[in-house]
Structure 1
Amino acid sequence: MQATPSSNKRTKASALPDEIVEEILARLPVKSLRRFQCVSKPWRHLITSPSFRTLHATRAIGRRRRLFVRPAGYGEPFYACEQHGISSSPDEEILSCWSSQLAPGTVFPISKPCHGLVLLRCVEYDAHYVWNLSSGETLALPDRTPFRTAGLKPRTFVSYGLGYSSVTDEHKAVRVYCLDVDAGGEPHAATAFCEVFTLDRSTHWRPAGTQPPAACRLRVRGSQGAVLCNGNLHFVGKDGVITSFGVEDETFGTLMPPSGLEYSGFDLTELDGCLCVYFSNQTNPWPDVPYRVWLLRDYAAAKDGSCWEEVRCIDWGSMTDAERAAFKSRWIAPLGMYCPDDGSNTGQTNKKIMFGTVSCKVFVVDPSNGGGTLPVVIFSLDCVQRDGQFPTMGLFEESLTSVGRASDEIILSSPSAEAWCQVLSRLPARTVGRWFPRIGVP
């Protein structure tokens, strides 16, 4: 049946240049793009290409910012929510802690998004996962217990981090741990080890290019992982010294914290593109102890604790008891810099800092006046009433970055494995069964 002239005209009119199609697709959310991969092979090739991934990330910067939220409690799921508003229920469930993707238990983020990838930890099983916020994909990191620490008591604390190398375009999971006993169980000087797992490349943890300095002693705090900033992952030691790990060249360095905080219980994060230290008695805010924040503006010149810029963010003493009680939480951390959607705060001056709490409350503070004004709540979930000790939220980041293949998929994708699969698939089942003991398969 021949097409009518009018139908031919519509077909020709509907064709768009490839550049226009690419620009339209780059403005769509990841969930829509995953469905559009099935439209045609050219679209699939385009959407999965590295250049389109970069373009999509660039276009995502101008979109409305959202939050990912996990209410405190056992088995609570993750939700995506708009950044503004007081709602009685979350907007959209994006990850269930009862799915086959995760071990059941208390799962929480220990890193900020790195190209849309977040590092998760399950407390009950001490398991770690890499999670793409947009697609919902997860990858379980292998070997929950490092081989060197197997059977040692007390259990060795392991600190994890997630970084990115722009030179090789690789995401790396990194873990650092210290041994305080030798193989015979006798105490000795602690030895620190560092291992690296490259996403979509590694099948097992490997030793890093260099090992941590002999003086490295990690601070035991399972609620926070290493902080990525300026291409380095940062780990906090027991003495407050910050150990940096270069994700690209896998070398170590040290940074001193702000003067006077060497042995305090400060925390570390990234804020406004700078390494950030924050400190306060958050569970029971004291009127005479403000919530203090330090920023390392000049990272290259940081050799001692004098390079930090202090920001007095929250003055608990300027609040009444009732006002302080509204912000009482066991976890209060900077989430990022706050810019209203109306464009009223586009300048570099008078920036506000956005904080998150365990009770899924977000408030902003203007640090330019010394923290004298009352924090302004911009987001809260009325359905969340409980408090906890683990992080519950972060800034949502759209990304097409893949979490990578599991170890068995990588192994089976090698040419030798594919050849063996072709050979074995052509043999009778009885013959293949007799071969299993010979090749080490139980």
Structure 2
Amino acid sequence: MDMEESSMKKLRQDSPPATAASLLTDDLILEVLSHLPARSVRRFKCVSTAWRDLIADPAHRKKLPQTLAGFLYNKYKPGGALSGHFASVSGGALPVDPSLHFLQPNKFKYIALEDTCNGLLLCACYNKETPDSDKDEYRHVVCNPATERWIELPPPPQALANRFYSTTRLAFDPAVSSHFHVLQFWQTISGVENCARGVDIFSSQTGAWIHRDSELFDKIKLFRRTRSVFFGGMLHLVGRLNTINVDKESALMVLVQVDMEGKAWKTIHLPIGSSFEAIGLSQGCLYYAGSTTQTHISKKNIVQATKITLWCLENHDSKEWVLKHSASINEPLGIIWVEFRVFAIHPDCNTLFLVPIGGDMLAYDMQHQKFVDILNLEKDNVRVYLPYVPLFSEALADADGQ
């Protein structure tokens, strides 16, 4: 029996549900709801009008678990600079200002959104309006847009001449600790073997960076623009095995796991037979979304069909993926020539977020195999969308950036 079922059973004992619920004070109801997943809290809005208003009250948001509010993303401005934008899932008022006005405007002229994790946002902040070259100085900033608190990180260890940072990711779990980590993975740029060589890790607890060499046995190239997942004390991100005589389309894809000390490095092979789309944490499990696209040529037209598959890693020890859903997404829309890309998995329900080339964001219900929402996007966006779940607790309470 899960926590939601246990809570509902308590309300039913010894009296009808309506009578039992009426005996609970608002504070007691909020206390019970605060220990439930965000998905359950949304369902309990249907208990009564009073419960709906209680849960929707802005004054109670700090006590209740939050779900996905939308996606932060960058858009190109004239001259090459970036500006922050937000696509709301609910379609209501924006829960966050994507311009990040609370950062020092006289110090940071150019801000690029890099990553999000459980309510915190990682940014690369430049002191110029636009970056002119790779030598432009910038600083990483971690902030909480809901509370407008932020911390400027010290510079990482001096990079060597023959290496560059392939990806930078944020790791944070407020249920475990109020501290966060930032991981900068680096790889060499000379020679044939272009693969991950190590990582620099910043800890907000120590306020310092440490360097660790890679402990990976295989040579793996990490994907720079794909999402990562922080789960079970490990950062999960996707890469490709650098195998001789294997083309890019058929190369093996792997999930790389790294702990917050950079000492434990593990790999899990991703399902074979589909191209990589996205990974995500949903309802307490790690999921992987893949796709296959087939083109059929007939006398009348050319039909391109995209099949989406959703896999779940139910057991980390066995490293086996279980197929949960599969669907052809072109048929419901009547579209015959559009390529879709899955970029996110909803944390609380069986919903995928897709974007066609040059189009708006679509929310697709895998369980009922139908599109349920459309999110409008700004033109000329960078096509990297960062999921945002508001965090109203006092994370970054020791922030010294303000």
**2:293 equivalent to 1:279:** no
Higher helix fraction: Structure 1 or Structure 2?
1
Quote the residue 2:259 is aligned against.
Answer: 246
Distance 1:166 1:380, change over 3 A: closer
- 2-side partners of 1:128 and 1:119: how far apart? 7
TM-score, length-normalised on structure 2?
Answer: 0.62
**Structure 2 residue aligned with 1:300, among 317, 322, 325?**
317
| 2:184–2:200 CA contact under 8 A, matched in 1 | yes
- Report the alpha carbon displacement of residue 390 of structure 1 after superposing the two structures with TM: 2.9
- Alignment deviations for residues 174-228 of structure 1 (CA, whole Å, 9 cap, x no partner): 22222355xxxx77896611222111422x31124x743242423242x335321
- 2-side partners of 1:70 and 1:79: how far apart? 6
Quote the residue 1:355 is aligned against.
Answer: 353
Quote the residue 2:335 is aligned against.
Answer: 321
Quote the residue 1:345 is aligned against.
Answer: none
| 1:180–1:191 CA contact under 8 A, matched in 2 | no
- Report the alpha carbon displacement of residue 96 of structure 1 after superposing the two structures with TM: 1.9
Quote the residue 1:380 is aligned against.
Answer: 375
Higher strand fraction: Structure 1 or Structure 2?
2
**2:83 equivalent to 1:76:** yes
Instruction: Give, as a single letter, the amino acid of the residue that structure 2 aligns with 1:399.
Output: F
- Report the alpha carbon displacement of residue 103 of structure 1 after superposing the two structures with TM: 4.3
TM-score, length-normalised on structure 1?
Answer: 0.57
Quote the residue 1:135 is aligned against.
Answer: 147
Structure 2, unmatched stretches of 5+, are 1-26, 35-59, 242-252, 296-301
Quote the residue 1:438 is aligned against.
Answer: none
Instruction: Give, as a single letter, the amino acid of the residue that structure 1 aligns with 2:206.
Output: R
Distance 1:104 1:275, change over 3 A: farther
- The equivalences for 1:396-435 within 5 A come to 396-403=389-396
- Alignment deviations for residues 111-132 of structure 1 (CA, whole Å, 9 cap, x no partner): 3x32x21333569567543221
Quote the residue 1:192 is aligned against.
Answer: 197
- 2-side partners of 1:104 and 1:281: how far apart? 42
| 1:286–1:316 CA contact under 8 A, matched in 2 | no
Distance 1:316 1:214, change over 3 A: same
**CA RMSD in angstroms, aligned pairs only:** 4.4
- 2-side partners of 1:176 and 1:249: how far apart? 10
**Structure 2 residue aligned with 1:212, among 211, 215, 230?**
215
Distance 1:187 1:398, change over 3 A: closer
- 1-side partners of 2:181 and 2:170: how far apart? 8
Instruction: Give, as a single letter, the amino acid of the residue that structure 2 aligns with 1:293.
Output: L
Count of equivalent residues: 316
| 2:227–2:279 CA contact under 8 A, matched in 1 | no
Distance 1:205 1:57, change over 3 A: farther
| 1:287–1:315 CA contact under 8 A, matched in 2 | no
Distance 1:307 1:66, change over 3 A: closer
- Report the alpha carbon displacement of residue 406 of structure 1 after superposing the two structures with TM: 6.9
Instruction: Give, as a single letter, the amino acid of the residue that structure 1 aligns with 2:210.
Output: R
- Alignment deviations for residues 215-265 of structure 1 (CA, whole Å, 9 cap, x no partner): 2423242x335321232101222222221112378422111111235xx44
- 1-side partners of 2:359 and 2:95: how far apart? 15
Distance 1:356 1:230, change over 3 A: farther
- Alignment deviations for residues 70-97 of structure 1 (CA, whole Å, 9 cap, x no partner): 463334344585x433x7xx64652425
- Alignment deviations for residues 378-423 of structure 1 (CA, whole Å, 9 cap, x no partner): x534xx45153433452432232433657999xxxxxxxxxxxxxx
- 1-side partners of 2:286 and 2:186: how far apart? 22
Query: Percent of aligned positions with the same letter in both sequences?
Result: 14
**2:290 equivalent to 1:309:** no
Q: Which has the larger radius of gyration?
A: 1
**Structure 1 residue aligned with 2:183, among 174, 184, 193?**
174
- 2-side partners of 1:177 and 1:394: how far apart? 24
